[in-house]
Amino acid sequence: MPFEWMVAVRFLREGRFQTVLILAGVAVGVAVLVFLSALITGLQATLVKQTLGSQPHVIVRRPDEVPVTLAPADVAVAARVQRPPQRLIALENWPGVRGTLEAMEGVEAVAPVASGSGFALNGGANRGVVLRGIDLESSNRIIDVCPRVVLGGCRLGGGEVLIGTELARQLGVTVGDTLRVGTATTQGQRFAIVGVFDLGSNEVNARWVLLPLKSAQTLLGLPGGVTALETRVTDVFQAERIARDAALATGQKAESWMELNRQLLVALRSQSSSSYMIQLFVLVAVALGIASVLVVSVVQKSREIGILKAMGTPTGRITRIFLIQGVLVGAVGAVFGGALGTGLAMFFATLALNPDGSPRFPVAVTPTLLLSAGTVALATGLLAAVAPARRAARLDPATVIRNG
Amino acid sequence: MAEPVLELEGVTKSYGETVITPVLHGIHLRVDTGEFAALIGPSGSGKSTLLNLIGLLDRPTGGRIVLAGEDTSQLDDTRRSVARGRTLGFVFQFHHLLPAFTAVENVMMPLMAQRGRQEPWMRERALGLLEEVGMASRAHHLTNALSGGQQQRVAIARALAPRPRLVLADEPTGNLDTRTADEVFALLRRFNVEHGTTFLIVTHDARLAGRCDRIISVVDGRIASDLPHVPSPPAPTPG
């Protein structure tokens, strides 16, 4: 073992109580780091998953209609242009656009949807709804409804609809009943309710009516057309970039869930940054703890340091003895802290459970997290040891030895 | 003529920046290989300062200190530690062993400190030296478990481990009782005779100084006398 390591280990072992205390301090710090990161990561993953439960990652629509000026470009025209109302118009050549999207890297699935506003009527009750005409099989690859059908079956044959739990409650209907569904310009048709779904959002449960693509096309006056292509991507946080690429590639308007949920993203980011702040302060506290214990140790060991110097130990070696102590404290503390943090996270996961017994906050303790927490602890130990080590290196052996 | 191991030429030392307190005034001194010399003087005479300068623990204000043929006044801190480790051995009044280590590890310490690692021959040498100072049976004890005299024996073994050209001993028997002091002093003498090790011993004990070959007396920062001592027949021990 190199000389510096040997002396560092002995010094730490000699200062038994101090060493135990500072190891405990580092361990608690690292445990907080691991636990907090795991919790925030798990929580955010859950939130994102919940949000994306009823949203495609990227929606491709026809661009908004804009007025076109007929005057030549070099003629200045003073005109007040009224914004046109956005009519429901089908996406141009949607099978072609779909092909383009499917060929893009990072895109997992694309499904057509013909959607517009309408109403659902049962007896005296009527509610404004979103008509979503889908092809159930391809749509399920974007938003998987079937596992979340709580009543009835999951199929969409001709004349059949799936509605949300909240709408079913408001209209007082259930599986097997019929429902009149129409739009402002059509009389509407009767559909049989074959299933009731719960997508986890009250708004969606109250508004969505899923019906076969063909029926929706008829009701919305879009024969053969669709209003949007919904896309699922491999990495949800790449959605924004993919949407930009998709807009360029297809000439259509493409929006990602990230654009449509700005507030959620802002909330997630501020949650992350507040968690980073907490972690930073924990690290600073840990660093101060290590530094203060090492400073005390330098004072206590000034005689020994003086002797080591007197017998010809180069200053660099003295410095390294204390740097190594910092690293050792960081490393050993990180091991204990990692274990403690993991244990804490697992214990916490057993506290908050869903009715079905699955944890409400999945805590994500990953090897990467443990590794990075360890690295951070090591670096903190090393940095914290710099000042004490320099102090030790500056000790004047003559003074120390003269004063016994 | 013997080879000089230490030469001081006009060494001066002052302390303080605004109020300058001169401690040493132009010391000239030469110690040859194999000498067994005592450095005596009342407290405040500057003998400890002189020892620190010779031990390269402090820098002189003026003059030159040549150790084993090397002028040390121009060396930076790192090279001074190297020179210190290679040329000098220290025995202090308060043994100054490292309590976290065993006796044999303490003796190996200067060797390890200079080489930066432990090597098998170091242990051999340390055990050999502990044998010579009569501490072989205690080699693997932590030094706190040893008596004052035993600790000082370990300290002597440690000072000798790197085969120094010159051993500086600062009141090596200062806090030992008379009998133990005699034993420790005899040990130093034995290394001088058997191995030709050069010793410079700071002491205020006239009895011990009288058993050295040469007595250098420092008074008020100057060498007051420097006499070869002719050993007198041992006086009857009092009591």
The pair of structure tokens assigned to B175 is: 């806090």
Residue A195 has pLDDT above 90, yes or no: yes
Confidence of residue B105 (pLDDT cuts 50, 70, 90): very high
pLDDT per position as a tens digit, A302-313: 888 888 888 888
Contact of B18 with chain A, judged by CB distance below 8 Å, is answered with: no
Rounded to the nearest angstrom, the minimum Cα separation between B186 and chain A is 23
Domains and CATH numbers, chain B: 4-226 (3.40.50.300)
Contact of A300 with chain B, judged by CB distance below 8 Å, is answered with: no
pLDDT value, residue B70 = 85
pLDDT value, residue B48 = 82
Residues of B in contact with A317 (CB under 8 A): 113, 116
**Cβ-Cβ contacts under 8 Å for B97 (sequence gap 6 or more):** A307, B103, B106, B143, B151, B154, B155, B158
For chain B, how big is the Rg over CA atoms in Å? 18
Question: What mean pLDDT is predicted for residues B107-136?
Answer: 89
**How do B36-40 and B198-202 pair as beta strands?**
parallel
pLDDT per position as a tens digit, A275-303: 889 888 888 888 888 888 888 888 888 88
Q: What is the mean pLDDT of chain A?
A: 86
Cα-based distances in Å from A74 to A66, A69, A82, A342: 20, 12, 22, 69
ipTM of this predicted complex? 0.82
* C-alpha dihedral sign at A290, B77, B89, B225: negative
* 3-state SS record for A309-330: HHCCCCHHHHHHHHHHHHHHHH
Contact of A394 with chain B, judged by CB distance below 8 Å, is answered with: no
Contact of B81 with chain A, judged by CB distance below 8 Å, is answered with: yes
Chain A residue with the nearest C-alpha to that of B115: A3
Residues of A in contact with B48 (CB under 8 A): 402
Q: By mean pLDDT, which of A136-150, A352-366, B32-46, B148-162 is the weakest?
A: A352-366
> A–B: how many Cβ contacts below 8 A?
83
CB neighbours (10 Å) of residue A36?
A: 18
Residue B6 bridge partners (DSSP): B31, B67
Contact of A304 with chain B, judged by CB distance below 8 Å, is answered with: yes
Contact of B78 with chain A, judged by CB distance below 8 Å, is answered with: yes
Assess contact for B60 and B53: CB atoms under 8 A: yes
Rounded to the nearest angstrom, the minimum Cα separation between B22 and chain A is 18
Q: Is B84 in Cβ contact with A311 (below 8 Å)?
A: yes
Rounded to the nearest angstrom, the minimum Cα separation between A340 and chain B is 31
pLDDT value, residue B232 = 53
State in Å, rounded, how far the first CA of chain B is from the last one. 43
Polymer length of chain A: 404
Q: Is B116 in Cβ contact with A2 (below 8 Å)?
A: yes
Q: Is B100 in Cβ contact with A3 (below 8 Å)?
A: no
Residues of B in contact with A4 (CB under 8 A): 116
